[in-house]
Chains A and B, each alone.
Chain A
Amino acid sequence: MKRYQNLLLLLAVAALLALPLRIVKKPPTTHGAPASLFAGSDDQARDLIQSIAPDYKPWATPLLQPASSEVETLLFALQAALGSGFIGYYLGVSTTRARMMRATDTGAKC
């Protein structure tokens, strides 16, 4: 069990993320607008602010708006790639170091 724990954990994450894609049904279209599925909760919060305080005007706008959703996806992918690349590099260094330390230990005992 311990040996396969990480594999099982990753499978559980994959299952938790795949499940909603199967079980959530697309809501019926309302007010003629196409209903969106899996919209960001940040956007829903913004819509709720506008329904609670319809007179509220945002007093600042983002300095840079990604030119399109493709560009936005690129930047998010870049963010994830940089982070996971570094973690992967560090784990690689650590496993190699652990293996070499084991090798010197057993070598010293001979």
Chain B
Amino acid sequence: MHIMEGFLPVTHAIGWSIASAPFIALGLRSINKKISEHPEQRMLLGVAAAFTFVLSALKMPSVTGSSSHPTGTGLGAILFGPTALAPIGGVVLLFQALLLAHGGITTLGANIFSMAIVGPFAAVAIFRSATAVRLPFGMSVFLAASLADLMTYLTTAAQLALAFPDATGGFPASFAKFVGIFAITQIPLAICEGFLTLVVMNALVRFNARELQEMQVTPRSGVRA
């Protein structure tokens, strides 16, 4: 999902940066508030950031014969809410843009929007809907993390299709082409992301039950471990 340096027209690059900026500000405020109220959650925030750091570094082979990487934003979004991930994902993307030539400064706004904003918001929306219809906790975590991963890649496809509409078919034709590259490859990787998120969440539920109850991730009574 990394749109490469210079591969978005100037107006799009600026537009996505402006669109992402308020979420970064809201996210920083939300993180500051959480940490000043609950300093003991600082380590868990580190875990959420570390998880994104690891997963976005793992390029995995997929059945389409190409490779891509998960995003790791679902875990942090479920734990700390969707906006907290905007600055965290931003740091990860900045690291990759500056040191690894993956993504770029000019495309940072667009990449933050897909990976660190759309993904986390999708994760929280899916997690809350799934728990509202009383799906098991593990299933809710899995669905939230894997569908958020897919949503991130669909967003990237839409961003590229907006910037580079097909000469004859316009946006829809171009979107279909980019979805063809990103989405099919991503399906098995999104399932992997859902499983890996559940592995870490299971460990947290088992060993950090009290924190998770305080954060209202798991219900106060009867935690399934």
Binding site for B on A (CB under 8 A): 2, 5-6, 9-10, 12-13, 16-17, 19-21, 23-24, 27, 37-42, 44-46, 48-49, 52-53, 56, 58-66, 72, 75-77, 79-80, 82-84, 86-87, 90-91, 93-95, 97-98
Contacts and interface: CB of A to CB of B under 8 A. Distances in A.
Contact of A44 (B2, B66, B198, B202): B66
Interface residues of B, number: 74
Interface in B1-39: 1-7, 9-10
Contacts of A24: 61, 63-65
26 contacts: A2-B224, A5-B138, A9-B199, A23-B63, A24-B65, A38-B62, A38-B66, A39-B66, A39-B67, A41-B67, A41-B182, A42-B3, A45-B3, A45-B156, A46-B7, A49-B164, A52-B167, A52-B177, A53-B164, A56-B9, A59-B6, A60-B106, A79-B57, A82-B50, A90-B43, A94-B204
Interface in B97-142: 97-102, 104-106, 138
A45, A53, A76: residue with the most chain B Cβ atoms closer than 10 Å: A45
Given A44-B66, A45-B160, A21 B181 contact: no
A50 to B, nearest CB: 9
B191 interface: yes
A62 B101 contact: yes
Interface of B: 1-7, 9-10, 43-44, 46-47, 49-68, 95-102, 104-106, 138, 156, 160, 164-167, 174, 177-178, 181-182, 185-186, 188, 191-192, 195-196, 198-200, 202-204, 206-208, 224-225
B216 to A, nearest CB: 19
Contacts of B55: 83
